[in-house]
Structure 1
Amino acid sequence: MAYKKRKVDSECRVFKEEWAWKYFFTEYNCKPVCLICNEAVAVFKDFNLARHFNTKHSKTKYALMDDAEKKINAENLKKTISTQRNVFIKQNTAQKASTLAGYVVAYKIAKNNKPYSEGEFVKDCMVSMSKILCPEKIKEFESVSLSRKTVTTRIDAIALNLSTQFRQRIANFKYFSVTMDESTDRSDTAQLLIFIRGVDVEFNITEELPCLQSLKGKTTGQIIYNEFSEGLQNLNAPISKLCNITTDGAPNMVGKNVGFSGIFRNQNPNHDVVFLHCIIHQDVLCKAAIDITHVLNVVSKLINTIRSRGLVHRQFQEFLIEVDADYSDLLYHTKVRWLSCGYAFERVWNLKEEIQNFLKNKTDKWSDFQIFEDKDWRTDFAFFTDLLEHYNKLNKNCKERTNL
C-alpha cells in the first residue's frame, strides 16, 4: 500500500511569538528568519528553529542571556532589521520611480521624433527647475538616467513591448483585414506599408501600422507577395483569419497573373479573400480629375521669384508689414507633398493685391506675371484654390481614425 507524502505547506503552521526571544526568530514573507544572521528556515517548527539556534549561535552572547535579556535584545534586533528593510524599500521605490521617469521621457522623445541626445538636455532642464521649485528633490532628478545610450535602449524596449502586445492581440483576432500601399520615399526606395485592422470575439477593434517593408530592387507582384508574407509571418498573423485585402490599384497589385492579387490566389487557392483596390493617392485624387498646370506653373514661378532671392524676399516681407497685410510671407509648394499647393494657392490668392502692387512698384518682374490681370486665368485660379481646399479637407477626413 502506497502512502502519500506529507506536504509541509498543507499543515498550516503559524509563527509563535515565544520563538522571537527564545530562538531569536521573526516572520518575514511567510518564513521564519533569524534575527542574528538573517538566515531563513524552511518551516515554522520548534525543532527546526531550536536546531538552528543551538548549531550556529550557541557560542554567542545571546545563548548566555536569561529570558528577560533575550526579550529585550530580540525587540532591538527586530527594530534594527525593520529599519534596514524600510531603507531598502524606500531606495528600491526611488529607483523604480527614477527608471519609470526615464522611460516616460524616452517615450516622449521617440513620439515627437526628437534626437536621442535630447535626453541629456531635458535632464539638465529638469535639474535646473528643481533647484528653484523643489531644492529638496534635486538628487531624485539627478538620479534619472537620460544619456543617449540609455534613451536608445529604453526606446528599443518600449518598441519591443508594444510589438509583443500587438502580437498578443493578433493571436486573439477572430478575423482581420489588411491594407497595403506601395510608395517611394525621398531616397527613391520603394516602401510597402501594411496596415492591419482586426476584431476579436468581443468585437474589440484593433488598428495598427505594424509593417514597413523596404523593396530594394524591383516592385513586381511576386516581390510584394514575398514581403507581404514575411510581414504577416513576423507578426504571427495566420492567413486563415485574413478576410480582406485592400490595395492602391497599381498594376503590380491587381494583375491576374503576375500581380499580387493573382499570385495570392494561386498560392492560397482554398482561401477566399475579398480584394478591394480603392486607396486614393493624393496626387491621383487631383490630377485624374483636373488639369491645373497653367495655373500651378505661374503660381510656383511667382513664389520662387519672391522667396528664392534674399533681397526681394526681405523687401516683400517689409512691404507686407507696411500695408498691414493679413499674412507676413508666402508658402513654398513642394512636389513631394502634392496637396501642399492648396495652401500655397490660398496664400497667394489672399495676397494677390499686395503681390501685384509689389511686383509693379518694387521689382522689374511684373512683365512675367501680367497674366494675373487676365480675367479667365484669375477665374481658374479662384476655382482651383477653392477646389484644392475641399480636397485637403477630404484628405484630412480620410485620415481620421473613426473614418477608416
Structure 2
Amino acid sequence: MDRFLTKNRSTEPTNSPAVEDTAAKKPKNFWPIKIRRYEAAYIKYGFTAIQKNGHDCPKCVLCLETLSNECLKPSKLQRHLMQKHPAEAEKTADFFRRKEEHLARQSAAFTQQATVPERALKASFLASYHIARAKKPHTIGEDLLLPATKDIVRELLGEDAAKKIDAVPLSDNTVSRRIGDMAQDVSAQLLEQVRASEYFALQLDESTDISNEAQLLVYIRFISQERFVEEILFCKALERRTTGKDIFQVLDDYIESNGLNWARCVGVCSDGAAAMTGKISGVTALIKQKAPHVVATHCMLHREALVAKRMDNELNQMGARFEGLLLHSNVRWLSRGAVLNRVYELRREVGEFLSSEKHQLAERFTDATWIRKLAYMSDIFLHLNVLNQSMQGRDTYILQVQDKVRAFSKKIMLWSNKLQEGVTEMFPLLHQELLSCDDLGSISPMIQSHLEHLQGYFKDYFPDLENTHLNWVRNPFSPGVGSSLGIKSQEELIEMKNSGDLKLNFEALPLSNYWLHWEQQSDWLMHELDELEFNQGQHRCLELDY
C-alpha cells in the first residue's frame, strides 16, 4: 500500500535517498512486452488469427486451440503443429487454407443460426405485449398461443417453419419478465420527455383497489415537441397510512429519485379530500413548500360527482332502501345512473322474482308512484353521466369544462320551468310512464325541489363559471375582445388579429397548442395569463381538472 501512496506523491519534491534508490531500481531481466502481428505466411503452420483484447492471437485450424500473442512466432507455431498434429505436419499450405475456409463457413453458419433466437426474442416480446394489452393471464402464451401458432404455421408454411415456433420463449415467468422490461422502457422514455419539458402539471387520486389496499395514482401533463402530452406517471401502493404526509412522501420520493424538478411543476389537481387539500399537512400544502408557485385546483369531475350525490331526503331514502340491490359505491357514484336504468328496464322481472321469494320489497315494484320516481332518477343520472363524460378526453381545457357546466346549470332552470307547464319530454323514461297515466302532480313538487336544489349545488361547487373576460383567450380573432387588457397586450392582440399565418394556425391547431406556439412570440399577453390564478397552470401546461 505504501508504494501506491509513494506513486501518488511522485510529483512532490523529495531529497530522501531511499526513495531515489527505490525509484532507480528496476527488476532484473526487465524487458518491454512486444506485441506481435499475424502474417499470412503462418497459414503453412496450420494457424489463422483472431482478435482478442485488441491483439492478434493464433488459432489452430485443426484443433481450434487459441494461443496467446506471445506464441505468434514461427518456432512456437511449428512446435504446436509437430507435437499436436504430427500426421498433418507435411501438409501443404493449400490444405490448411481449405481448413481455414471450412472454419469460416462454420462460423458464418453459426452466426446465421444465432440470429434466429434474436428474432424469436422479438416475437416473444410482441406476444407478451398482446397478452398484456388483452389483460389475459400470463400462462395463455405457453398454453394457447404457441400451440395455436404452431398449427397455423404448419398448415400454411410447412413443418420446417413450424419447428421454428418452438424457439419462441413464452412461459408464464418469461411473459412476466417481458412485460416488466417493456414497462420499464416505457417509463424511462416518459421520464426522459418530462425532464426535457419546461413545465409539467400533476393530477393525484388516492383510492382503494379490490383487495382493500390504498393506491396512489398520478397523471402528468407536459410539453413535448410543441404539443401537450397526458400520460400516467405511476401507480404505487400506500403501505402505511393515507395521510397527506404519507401521500406526499411517496410522490416526493418518486420525483426526486427520477431526476424531476419541482420548480417546473406549475399545477396540482386533486379530488378535494382533506388529506389532499389540508392547509398545513395536506399534499398541496407540502408541495407548495417545494414549489411555492404551484396552483392547486379541485378536480371538476369530482365536483360534479359531489353535486350528483346531493339529493333530497325522499329520493335519498329511496336509494338507501335498495342499497344492496343497486350495488352502487361511493367511489363510482355516477354508475348508479346505469344501475338505475337497468333496474327500471327489468322492473317487471325483478318484481316477479321478489314476489316469488315473498320479499317485503316486492310491493315497491307495483307502486306506480315509486316507479315514476325510479324513472326520474334514472333520467337525471343519465344527464349527469353525459355531462361527466363530456368533460373528459384529451385536448380538453378548463374554459370548455366551465362552458359545459354552465350550460347544464341553465338546462336545469329550463327543465324546472317546463315541468311547471307539464312538459316532461326532457326525462324520457318518466315521460313514457306518464303516457299511460298522466298524473304528474303527485311527484311534480318532489322533482321541482330536487331540480332547484341541484342548481344551487352547482353554484356552490362551481362558483367561477363566468369567464367572459377570457373571450380573447378562447378566440383572439373575434371582434371586440380584449378591450380590458393593457395597452401593450392590446397591441400584441392587434398584431395577432392581422396575421394571416396565425389565423390559419388558430383554425388548424387545438387552442392549447395554438397558445403554446404563440408563447414564444408574446410577452404581454402571456403576462396577462399569468395574472389569472386559476388559469396560470393552464397557460403553462394546461393543468386541467381530469
Structure 2 partner of 1:310: none
Instruction: Summarize the Cα distance change of 1:97–1:180 in structure 2 as closer, same or farther, 3 Å threshold.
Output: same
User: Residues 83-120 of structure 1: CA distance to partner in whole angstroms, max 9, x if unpaired?
Assistant: 31133113211222222222222233233332222222
Structure 2 partner of 1:213: 236
* Counterpart check, 1:137 vs 2:161: yes
Q: CA contact under 8 A between 1:213 and 1:231: conserved in structure 2?
A: no
How far apart are 1:8 and its partner, in Å?
A: 8.6
TM-score, reference length from structure 2? 0.53
Instruction: Summarize the Cα distance change of 1:53–1:401 in structure 2 as closer, same or farther, 3 Å threshold.
Output: farther
Over the aligned positions, Cα root-mean-square deviation in angstroms equals: 4.3
Structure 1 partner of 2:124: 102
* Counterpart check, 1:194 vs 2:218: yes
Q: Which has the higher contact order (CA 8 A, sep 6+)?
A: 2
* Counterpart check, 1:369 vs 2:365: yes
* Counterpart check, 1:81 vs 2:100: no
Structure 1 partner of 2:419: none
Query: What is the alpha-carbon distance in structure 2 between the residues aligned to residue 362 and residue 211 of structure 1?
Result: 46
* Count of aligned residue pairs for this structure pair: 351
Structure 1 partner of 2:442: none
Query: What is the alpha-carbon distance in structure 2 between the residues aligned to residue 303 and residue 215 of structure 1?
Result: 29
How far apart are 1:233 and its partner, in Å?
A: 2.6
Query: What is the alpha-carbon distance in structure 2 between the residues aligned to residue 125 and residue 76 of structure 1?
Result: 46
Instruction: Summarize the Cα distance change of 1:293–1:232 in structure 2 as closer, same or farther, 3 Å threshold.
Output: farther
Structure 1 partner of 2:298: 278
Instruction: Summarize the Cα distance change of 1:347–1:293 in structure 2 as closer, same or farther, 3 Å threshold.
Output: farther
Query: What is the alpha-carbon distance in structure 1 between the residues aligned to residue 210 and residue 354 of structure 2?
Result: 37
Query: What is the alpha-carbon distance in structure 2 between the residues aligned to residue 377 and residue 158 of structure 1?
Result: 51
Query: What is the alpha-carbon distance in structure 2 between the residues aligned to residue 142 and residue 292 of structure 1?
Result: 65
Query: What is the alpha-carbon distance in structure 2 between the residues aligned to residue 296 and residue 91 of structure 1?
Result: 71
Instruction: Summarize the Cα distance change of 1:375–1:137 in structure 2 as closer, same or farther, 3 Å threshold.
Output: closer
Query: What is the alpha-carbon distance in structure 2 between the residues aligned to residue 154 and residue 377 of structure 1?
Result: 53
Structure 1 partner of 2:376: 380
Instruction: Summarize the Cα distance change of 1:374–1:253 in structure 2 as closer, same or farther, 3 Å threshold.
Output: closer
Structure 2 partner of 1:288: 307
Query: What is the alpha-carbon distance in structure 2 between the residues aligned to residue 88 and residue 293 of structure 1?
Result: 79
Question: Which of these two proteins has the greater Rg computed from alpha carbons?
Answer: 2
Query: What is the alpha-carbon distance in structure 1 between the residues aligned to residue 324 and residue 204 of structure 2?
Result: 36
Instruction: Summarize the Cα distance change of 1:259–1:206 in structure 2 as closer, same or farther, 3 Å threshold.
Output: same
Q: Secondary structure at the match of 1:369?
A: helix
Q: CA contact under 8 A between 2:214 and 2:238: conserved in structure 1?
A: yes
User: Residues 342-380 of structure 1: CA distance to partner in whole angstroms, max 9, x if unpaired?
Assistant: 33344556x47xx55995899678742234467963762
* Counterpart check, 1:120 vs 2:142: yes
How far apart are 1:288 and its partner, in Å?
A: 0.8
Query: What is the alpha-carbon distance in structure 2 between the residues aligned to residue 139 and residue 148 of structure 1?
Result: 21
1:64 to 70, 87, 90: 90
Query: What is the alpha-carbon distance in structure 2 between the residues aligned to residue 375 and residue 103 of structure 1?
Result: 54
Identity of aligned residues (%): 21
What are the ranges of 5 or more consecutive residues in structure 1 without an aligned counterpart?
306-331
User: Residues 270-313 of structure 1: CA distance to partner in whole angstroms, max 9, x if unpaired?
Assistant: x433222232446x5244146388668869989988xxxxxxxx
1:157 to 181, 188, 194: 181
TM-score, reference length from structure 1? 0.68
Structure 2 partner of 1:179: 203
Structure 1 partner of 2:339: 344
How far apart are 1:387 and its partner, in Å?
A: 0.6
Query: What is the alpha-carbon distance in structure 2 between the residues aligned to residue 292 and residue 344 of structure 1?
Result: 19
User: Residues 237-256 of structure 1: CA distance to partner in whole angstroms, max 9, x if unpaired?
Assistant: 23233232222222222222
